[in-house]
Amino acid sequence: MSCLHSISRSPSHRLVDTCASLLRPGDAIIFIEDGCFHCLQVSLIKQVDIKLYYLEADMQARGLGASNINGAKSEIVDYDRFVDLCCEHDKLVNWF
Amino acid sequence: MAEPTSITFISRCAPYGQHKPKLCMDMALAAAVFEQHVSYIFLEDGVFQLLRGQDAGAIHSKTLGNALETLELYGIDKVYVDRESLSRRNLKREDLIIEVEILDRIAIANLLAEADSVFNL
């Protein structure tokens, strides 16, 4: 039973710390809206088997791109892929 | 009627500063009325909702602590509190207004995994 977690607020809200402590193998996180600023953080998530996604439109709007992403295993996705991700996971858990 | 689903609510905010704790509670009560399987988790600042001796009359609001007692009346008996959130805030079981089960993060992660859907407020 995998969860896709969405984080929509900036790192100063510290949502990632709480979210990360509740992750299970196979879960993934997508950063949307102000959550995209997390890409600048180094070693964001310690667990190795958690995939990280950033929503392209929200990244673009904020002047962020692939070159700004400091962590590995990250991928920038468009809206269609976001929808696919929602369907590939059993449920969505929103952090805002 | 359709098969009941299991819905897990996570309440993460302190009471009175914003409306999220009240909204989360209202959603859970509504879900319980429609006979869904509800679990309720207090996480991070959400544990402040459970403090004894609240008197929100002083700020012309309804006391949320009283509303928590209605959870049981609505058949919501799966009420959990995160151990780490309590200890980081120097709170103990005796400080809490209602009977709750205290869980660690791994157990909470498992609850989320088992639920059909999760509301995180």
Asked if the Cβ–Cβ distance from B112 to A94 is below 8 Å, we say no
Domain count, chain A: 1
Task: Specify the pLDDT at position B1.
Answer: 61
Does residue B72 sit within a domain?
yes
CATH number of the domain at A68, please.
Answer: 3.40.1260.10
Mean pLDDT of the residues in chain A: 92
Mutate to test the interface with B, among A3, A13, A15, A22 (most CBs of B within 10 A): A22
Identify the band that residue A25 occupies on the pLDDT scale cut at 50, 70 and 90: very high
According to the model, what pLDDT value does residue B110 have? 96
From the candidates B12, B24, B120, B121, which should be mutated to test the interface with A, based on the most A CB atoms within 10 A? B120
For position B99, which CATH number holds? 3.40.1260.10
- Residue numbers of the domain that contains A85: 3-95
Which has the minimum average pLDDT: A20-29, A85-94, B50-59?
B50-59
A7 confidence band (pLDDT: 50, 70, 90)? very high
What pLDDT is attached to residue B62? 87
Cβ-based contacts of A91 with chain B (< 8 Å): 115-118
CB contact under 8 A, B112 and A93: yes
Cβ of A22 within 8 Å of Cβ of B115? The answer is no
Average pLDDT over residues B81-94: 93
For residue B52, being part of any structural domain is answered with: yes
- CB-based contact A22 B112, cutoff 8 Å: yes
Burial A19-52 (b: 16+ CB within 10 A, else e): bbebbbeebbbbbbbbbbbbbeeeebbeeeebeb
Residue A43 clears pLDDT 80, i.e. is over it: no
Question: What whole-number distance in Å separates Cα of residue A89 and Cα of residue B101?
Answer: 29
Q: For the whole prediction, is pTM greater than 0.80? A: yes
pLDDT value at position A12?
A: 85
**Which residue did the predictor score with more confidence, A71 or B43?**
B43
Q: Do A3 and B105 touch (CB under 8 A)?
A: no
Q: What is the pLDDT of residues B29-82, one digit of tens each?
A: 999 999 999 999 999 999 989 998 888 888 888 888 888 888 999 999 999 999
Considering only CB atoms, B118 lies closest to which of A18, A24, A91, namely A91
Give residue B31's domain range.
Answer: 6-120
pLDDT digit string (tens) for B5-36? 999 999 999 898 889 999 999 999 999 999 99
- From B44, B105, B114, residue closest to A1, measured CB to CB: B114
Kindly state whether residue B60 falls inside one of the protein's structural domains: yes
Does a structural domain hold residue B1? Answer: no
The domain tally of chain B equals 1
pLDDT at residue A79 in the model: 96
CA atoms within 13 A on the CB side of B111: 27
Distance CA A4, CA B102 (A): 25
